[in-house]
Amino acid sequence: MFVKPIVAVLLFLAMQLLSGLVFTVLGMNAQDAMVAHSDWLAWATIISGLLTALILYRMRMFRTKTLDPRHINWGYAHLGVVGSLVGIFAVDLISEMLDLPDLMQMEFIQLANSMWGILAIAIVGPIVEELVFRASFLGYLVRNGLDSRIAIIISALVFGIIHFNPAQIPAATIIGVLLGVVYVKSHSIVLTSIIHIINNSLAIYEMRKFGETINDFSLTQVIGGTLTLVFIATSVLLCYVFLSEYVRKYHRPRTRHRHHHHHHRHI
C-alpha cells in the first residue's frame, strides 16, 4: 500500500535535485550571478514540478478530474477554504513564537523578487505539491483502504518533513492536516490548491515588502503577547467550526453518467 506513495514522494525529491543541479550548472556563467541564481532556481522548480506531475499521471497516481473545478461542490467549498486559511493564520502566529531557524529564507527572498520565482512559489509549486502529497500520496492510501484519519496524519507528517527546514516543518505538518481534511471530502486538489496558492502568495507579499529586514517584523509583536494568544485561540476555534461544517455538509456533486461509476476509481 505504501510503496507507490513513497515512490511518488521520492520522485518529487529526485526531480527537484536533478533539475536544481542542471540549472545551477547552466546559470554559473551568467553575468548577473544573483539574478541568474534566483531565475535558474525558479526554472528548476517549475520544470521539475511539471515533469513530476507528468510522470505521476503516467503512473496513474491521479486522474485529470482532480484538477477539474466542475467536480467541486461550490455551495459548501468556502467552508473548507475559510476554515483552513483561519487555521493557517493561527499556525503562522505560533511559528513566529517558536522562532525556529529558517535555512531557506534568503533563497525565498531572492525568488520573491523574480517573476519566474513568483510563478514557481505561488502557482506551480503549490499545484504540484497538491498533486504529489494530496492526490498521489493521501489519495492513494485512502483509495486502497487505509482509514482516512490515519492517512491524513501520515501524509501531513511526510509533507512537513519533506521541507527539510526547521522553520517550516511544524507549520507544514499542521497545514498538511488541514489540506488533507479538505481533500478527503472533495477528492479534488482544486480547493487545496486555492488554499495553498493563497498561503504562498501572502508569504511572497511579506518577503517582497520587507526583504532582508523581514526578521525585524513580527506580527506577534505588533498584536501584543496576550492579544496574540487570544487571536490564536479564536482562530483555532473558528478553524474547527468551519472545517466541522465542511466535513458535515460537503458532498461531491453528482455526475451525469452514474451508470459508469463502477468503471472508475474516485480520486
Question: From CA 36, how far away is CA 22, in angstroms rounded?
Answer: 13
What pLDDT sits at residue 36?
63
**For residues 115-128, average pLDDT:** 96
Question: From CA 69, how far away is CA 66, in angstroms rounded?
Answer: 8
For residue 194, what are the contacts with CB-CB under 8 A and spacing of at least 6?
81
CA-atom Rg of the chain in angstroms: 19
**For residues 76-96, average pLDDT:** 97
Q: Of 83-92, 150-159, 211-220, which range is least confident? A: 211-220
Residue linked to cell 527539510: 164
> Residues 47-71: pLDDT tens digits?
999 999 999 999 999 999 999 999 9
For residue 56, what are the contacts with CB-CB under 8 A and spacing of at least 6?
8, 11, 62, 131, 132, 136
> Residues 189-222: pLDDT tens digits?
999 999 999 999 999 999 888 877 777 778 888 8
What pLDDT sits at residue 145?
94
Instruction: Tell me how far apart the terminal alpha carbons of the chain are, to the nearest angstrom.
Output: 16
| % residues pLDDT > 70 (the chain) | 91
